[in-house]
Chains A and B, each alone.
Chain A
């Protein structure tokens, strides 16, 4: 190995070790510690000056107490379940909104496609916070949507949408829609149209051909899109805290409050560890889907 290569590997490697892996191990360690009235507010502290005995007593003081606490308090498992449920429901809605759009884009004339693609990507570059905030003015009691609906006479009293789970669904669908459209579009765009013609020649109606040919061929895109929405939605913080109400339980918000309001670092860390354990399953499934797709493309 020449020095240049070692340098090239070592710099990003050490950076990630120091600022990704080590912080993660610290979270793991603090999740096994106890809350203490000290600075920093947890115990035990690792004291290397005490030598081997210090190390031993340090490990002896670590326990799973915080994790036990998470199972005894209803708040936490309800928050995990409700995060999963909100993420799942929003993913399905995003798919229902995103698929027809991706399909329309793939059917559009070739010279229009780059423009349409840019229109999908553009909101992604716009601040996430601002896109969520935009809905606050639309969904509130005297908001644009209620004013419009009252004006049309469809409703006689304003609807309560802001600060409910419905607003959270709208927020997630809105902000993550590009993540759903792009992989589905990529799959549909390279589809061979002669397959559809063949299906129709063989007696399929257009609708049947769509369900039997188009949808299965875009399956990899659908799966990728769903995971790209589902995975980040579980740990979402901004959307539930701006659009959700006091009844909206999501684990990202719980972790934030545990840390900033309750100042209980060990419990916040335990919440984070469990959240990661939950996320591992969809992440592994997502990776497997990507791998399969790469292999299929050769």
Chain B
């Protein structure tokens, strides 16, 4: 039996207060009428209005969204391929190097990843902008995707796929009809992870972008370097709201999908 003591309750309360209070304070102050972020002067949505009229922020948000959609989709494709290579391809020439290159970007400091990619883009004379940020983000997020997907793939019962092959499926059909639906939750969470990593990234984007493309984190960083700004509070609140709704919805959907899938898998195994 597990005993939940007063000590446990206190440490959870204090811990979650520490995790959430800063964000709650940020959200509260985004509704502050005063320009001085430290003085409370009544409720107002003034900063939201100003934010929505600020072309620079809107442009930056659009660039960020484009980069995130393209890079996370590309990263999901490449990461899923890499995961299937890691889990299933057995031995091949250069396998150690391959798995090294999958895991190394996960621990590589962002400043180094950013610096090295920038030097590459300059070396081959590629114009820096949205395209180079997409390349950079795809490269590091595909590694995260492949870690997520490969953990799902390695627990997957391969006999289901073999059965499909025996029943006349081509390897591609077997993948599309059997494997993909089973690993889908991992692929989706990989995509979401890649998407948020891309939305979030300041350092790598700063290195790999050119004058033509400014992402939201770059814009936020240059604005807050000088101190707290009420517009950024409003922007942060919007972003926190989107993430909260997104994560809760996603976790409900994946929970439902996981239950349904477990049922299907078991039904399939029983009928074999």
Partner-B contacts on A (CB < 8 A): 1, 4-5, 8-9, 11-13, 15-17, 19-24, 26-27, 30, 40, 97-98, 100-101, 103-109, 116, 118-123, 125-131, 133-138, 140, 142-144, 147, 174, 177, 193, 231-232, 234-238, 241-242, 252, 255-256, 259, 265, 268-269, 272, 275-276, 279, 283, 286
In the bound complex, residues from chain B placing their C-beta under 8 Å from that of A120 are 19
A32 to chain B, nearest CB (A): 13
In the bound complex, residues from chain B placing their C-beta under 8 Å from that of A23 are 116-117, 119-120
Residue with the highest number of chain A CB atoms closer than 10 Å, among B1, B8, B102 = B8
In the bound complex, residues from chain A placing their C-beta under 8 Å from that of B97 are 21
Count of B interface residues, CB-CB < 8 Å: 82
A266 to chain B, nearest CB (A): 11
- Indicate if the CB atoms of B224 and A5 lie closer than 8 Å: no
> A234 vs B112: C-alpha distance in the bound complex, in angstroms?
12
Any A CB within 8 A of the CB of B259:
no
Partner-A contacts on B (CB < 8 A): 1-5, 7-9, 11-12, 15-16, 18-20, 22-23, 25-26, 29, 37-38, 78-79, 81-82, 84-85, 89, 92, 94, 97-98, 101-102, 104-105, 107-112, 115-117, 119-120, 122-123, 135-136, 138-139, 142, 146, 171-172, 196, 199-200, 202-203, 207, 217, 220-221, 224-225, 227-228, 232-233, 236, 239-240, 243-244, 246-248, 251
A-B contact pairs, 22 of them (CB 8 A): A4-B172, A12-B81, A15-B142, A16-B102, A16-B139, A101-B16, A104-B8, A104-B15, A107-B2, A107-B4, A119-B16, A123-B19, A127-B243, A134-B22, A134-B23, A137-B228, A138-B22, A138-B25, A143-B38, A174-B18, A177-B19, A252-B111
In the bound complex, residues from chain A placing their C-beta under 8 Å from that of B172 are 4
- Indicate if the CB atoms of A20 and B104 lie closer than 8 Å: yes
Q: Nearest CB to that of B29 among chain A residues?
A: A137
- Pick from B115, B120, B200: contact of A19, CB below 8 A: B120
List 19 other contacts, CB 8 Å, given A27-B116, A103-B11, A125-B243.
A4-B172, A8-B84, A9-B92, A12-B78, A15-B142, A19-B135, A23-B116, A23-B119, A24-B116, A97-B18, A101-B15, A119-B20, A126-B23, A134-B236, A136-B228, A177-B15, A235-B112, A259-B207, A272-B112
Q: Nearest CB to that of B171 among chain A residues?
A: A4
**Contacts A130-B26, A256-B111 given: A26-B119 contact, CB under 8 Å?**
yes
**Contacts A23-B119, A134-B236 given: A272-B111 contact, CB under 8 Å?**
yes
> A127 vs B225: C-alpha distance in the bound complex, in angstroms?
16
Counting from the closest, the 10 A-B pairs by CB-CB distance are A235-B109, A100-B11, A23-B116, A104-B8, A101-B15, A12-B82, A142-B38, A134-B22, A23-B120, A104-B12
B127 to chain A, nearest CB (A): 14
**Contacts A19-B135, A108-B4, A109-B4 given: A123-B23 contact, CB under 8 Å?**
yes
> A4 vs B142: C-alpha distance in the bound complex, in angstroms?
20
> A201 vs B138: C-alpha distance in the bound complex, in angstroms?
56
> A202 vs B3: C-alpha distance in the bound complex, in angstroms?
19
- Indicate if the CB atoms of A27 and B119 lie closer than 8 Å: yes
> A135 vs B26: C-alpha distance in the bound complex, in angstroms?
9
Q: Nearest CB to that of B26 among chain A residues?
A: A134
- Indicate if the CB atoms of A15 and B139 lie closer than 8 Å: yes
In the bound complex, residues from chain A placing their C-beta under 8 Å from that of B81 are 8, 11-12
- Indicate if the CB atoms of B22 and A135 lie closer than 8 Å: yes
B104 to chain A, nearest CB (A): 7
> A234 vs B12: C-alpha distance in the bound complex, in angstroms?
28
- Indicate if the CB atoms of A127 and B115 lie closer than 8 Å: no
> A120 vs B240: C-alpha distance in the bound complex, in angstroms?
15
> A289 vs B194: C-alpha distance in the bound complex, in angstroms?
26
Residue with the highest number of chain B CB atoms closer than 10 Å, among A12, A122, A241 = A12
Q: Nearest CB to that of B89 among chain A residues?
A: A9
- Indicate if the CB atoms of A125 and B247 lie closer than 8 Å: yes
In the bound complex, residues from chain B placing their C-beta under 8 Å from that of A275 are 109, 111-112
In the bound complex, residues from chain B placing their C-beta under 8 Å from that of A256 are 111, 203
